[in-house]
Structure 1
């Protein structure tokens, strides 16, 4: 089965040949832009330039606690399992730039209002330090001795898929340049390697899964190169409320910019009938 990302890349191979075709003679039947009765599919990808929420701040706090404990000598610091002398300082949590993919199917209820369904994914990595159970020091007097590995590791920190219902507003109808506003809400399925608050009974992060819900608002513009095909640019902000039996309730926020392609299937069907 194709992953969400693989399906997105496969989607990009099917850019229509309408860019090389002659203009449609029937502009009334093949209008540019958004209008009542349109079936519009867009596929976009992009990066976040702001990411926050309790799931991020908590991970930073855990790393900060480990850094403080190793600096004070409360928790031993080791490098590849060996004692570190002199002690090395730990870095702060480092997060990769999140990437996102989105498919959006939209139907024109009126010349300015659309309703649709969106499926999107969001993922990022994090670089942190592991805390291990120190087996040689394990005893009845120290039932949970630990040490921190000084060598940092990078792991997929968060990945999700969100399925949502969308309402959109297009102030300019039947135009090559089609500005729009989107509002959506939906369900989230996610996995994360987020750690429990220290001190923890889980010394090495494990991947946990959970569900939640999210809301998203976006503004952008469609530019129709032909009545059947165009480009899309959108800036959006979203917030997700997440729940997991392992890490409890958390939130994730992001602001991102995405670009991609769009297809007007109403005009594609009419084009094929010419």
Structure 2
């Protein structure tokens, strides 16, 4: 049976076909690329990680430990009296609180570009802070003494941020696998930094042995081993172990060093892949 459509309806159907057929053909030809995971040439990656130091050392840390040990030795030998707070006597044979330099918190953000399928160039911003707790040396007026005061050790521990810095680095990462969900790598970095540190001189100032905060600058080197795991082409998790050495200079000292190593965990994003798949 043949259906005769009115001229107007035939015209509407014809216009619809003219508009829609090219659209269907274009969409039939558009094929999205296969998802590519991991590191590759042209990828643009941002990683955000953080953690704690497992090791902290160097001449700056050792100097603070030696200073604390010296005060503790003088207390144990009776060379210097121990007070609880101010003039309140500290009970004899009571141990002093433990001196310690605590693990520091670290934060890191880096931007990396794939120069080749295995080599990446990056810039980074890093922070670290290290806390300490130790005995403090004070003085109190005493007219019976030739110099007019007596020095003592305060039993209540002094807690403070011993060191913190902000460093800006550049470096290279070598990625052992390319275009793989697992992305193990090794990285080398050099950096410049500015820091603040507590630096005790042991010099009396107005009946107080001050713990001044001294600012300064420095240079650093860093080596890291890590792996990224890409859950999607755009996003993954990052795990890294690292070691770092820094050479410091301030108005309080000509040169000191600080070393630290630790473990960090965080996330990685591939901006080049966002919206592509």
Q: Distance in 2 between matches of 1:114 and 1:137?
A: 69
Say which SS state the counterpart of residue 72 (structure 2) adopts: helix
Alignment correspondent of 2:162: 157
Residue 110 of structure 2 contacts residue 123 of structure 2 at CA under 8 Å; is this kept in 1?
Answer: yes
1:156-186 Cα offsets, whole Å, 9 max, x none, are: 1111111100111012111111111110001
5+ residue gaps, structure 1, are 1-23
Contact 2:45 2:112 in 1 (8 A): yes
CA–CA separation in structure 2 for the residues paired with 1:240 and 1:250: 8
Quickly say closer, same or farther: Cα 1:143–1:111, change in 2 above 3 A: farther
Picking from 64, 67, 71, the partner of 2:69 is 64
Normalised to the residue count of structure 2, the TM-score between the two structures is 0.82
How far apart, CA to CA, are the structure 2 residues paired with 1:148 and 1:130? Answer: 6
Superposition CA RMSD, Å:
2.1
CA 1:51–1:263: 2 relative to 1, 3 Å:
same
For 1:194-205, list aligned pairs within 5 A: 194-196=199-201, 198=202, 203-205=209-211
Instruction: Determine which of 30, 49, 54 is the counterpart of 1:49.
Output: 54
C-alpha contact (below 8 Å) 1:42/1:260 kept by paired residues: yes
TM-score (norm 1): 0.82
Q: 1:136 aligns with which of 139, 142, 149?
A: 142
Give the unaligned 5+ runs of structure 2: 1-30
Of 119-128 and 200-209, more deviation after overlay is shown by 200-209
**CA contact 1:59–1:93 (8 Å) conserved in 2:** no
Q: In the alignment, is the contact (CA less than 8 A) between 1:77 and 1:87 conserved in 2? A: no
Q: Is the 8 A contact 2:141 2:148 kept in 1?
A: no
SS in 1 for 2:247: strand
Structure 1 residue ranges, 4+ long, deviating more than 6 angstroms after superposition = none
Is 1:226 paired with 2:236? no
Give the one of 246, 256, 259 matched to 2:265: 259
Question: Could you tell me whether the CA contact under 8 Å between 2:38 and 2:180 is conserved in 1?
Answer: yes
